[in-house]
Structure 1
């Protein structure tokens, strides 16, 4: 059951999304020793969301359309703001700027925002893990959820380590374009979320 949770979570977390883009940019734009605490915070935030979803938040969201609408609208605005920040940092990106990284407080706050201000992740994770919880016996719950949490740790820390070690060998223009593409994707995703919120009202 541990392996089942591990493989399922790896399949989910490996897709391109807000958290992966954030962890990717964090590893590229900050020295490895400063990137680690931010990655740990992303993992904590993701673990908190997973546990909340697994133990009941999905039922609340599925039962209240207004709650879902608020999450989509507010989250969409925050996602656009995050994307704009990535684009703005790309405009002045220099590898040497790793000597003057983002303030740690801001990085840690953003680590929580990319998880808990991502409405699609909240809704999808809550509904999926809420449904999965109903298929497990009490004895299967602990090994399954431990596997899920282990997978996200392996993935996030692995990305940070690999990129942190390889970024000095990558062309500076490549790293700059990574930021530009990431910021653009995130902003478009935020616009999509706002559009979904509008369609829920119409």
Structure 2
């Protein structure tokens, strides 16, 4: 079961670490020390719901159909390869995350904002529901839930890290070179997983 857990952990981490609106928001709130606990917890709960829904629904549907299972493997391999190449491309960019100052948010504003950057982001459905659901569905009746646990663990660890550790990491995260290294690592993980799926489909 450890292999399924680690596979979910690796894929979940690779998908969630990539720079996006949700990560940028969590990091910003951490740097400003505003509603960090609420922001981190909300992200974790949302990711858990999305991952579970994907693996319980789409995963079950896919594992019952050999045709859909093979299509999911090839589709996942192609998407992961594209994702990995995109991450490598970003690794050569000059962008970095900045935490701008501003008026403190109320609890309601903070909650609505983090819900918006999570649920209104179309990539979250592709990453968690479709991709993780499809790959999770290939792990078998028991393996898929260990895979899900690994993916959820990655979300918990990452959001906690960038939320609560933002103050300590702010000098490092402000450097474009740090995100280049991060994107490079993400690209390597994604391409390795893409190769694994392609070999399984073949």
Superposition TM-score, scaled by structure 2 size: 0.59
Match of 2:189 in 1: 185
Shift of 1:192: 2.9
Shift of 1:96: 4.1
Match of 2:35 in 1: none
Gapped regions of structure 1 (runs ≥ 5): 1-7, 133-147
Check whether the contact 1:39–1:111 (CA below 8 A) recurs between aligned residues: no
Q: Give me the CA root mean square deviation.
A: 4.1
Match of 1:31 in 2: 25
State the alpha-carbon separation in 1 of the partners of residues 44 and 81 from structure 2: 21
Check whether the contact 1:61–1:68 (CA below 8 A) recurs between aligned residues: yes
Which consecutive aligned stretches of 4+ in structure 1 deviate over 6 angstroms post-superposition? none
Check whether the contact 2:14–2:189 (CA below 8 A) recurs between aligned residues: no
Check whether the contact 2:9–2:153 (CA below 8 A) recurs between aligned residues: no
Check whether the contact 1:22–1:114 (CA below 8 A) recurs between aligned residues: yes
Q: Give 1:42's match in structure 2, choosing from 30, 42, 47.
A: 47
Residue 40 of structure 2 corresponds to residue 51 of structure 1: no
Match of 1:136 in 2: none
Match of 2:127 in 1: 114
State the alpha-carbon separation in 1 of the partners of residues 153 and 198 from structure 2: 32
Equivalenced residue count is: 166
Check whether the contact 1:38–1:107 (CA below 8 A) recurs between aligned residues: no
Match of 1:21 in 2: 14
Superposition TM-score, scaled by structure 1 size: 0.59
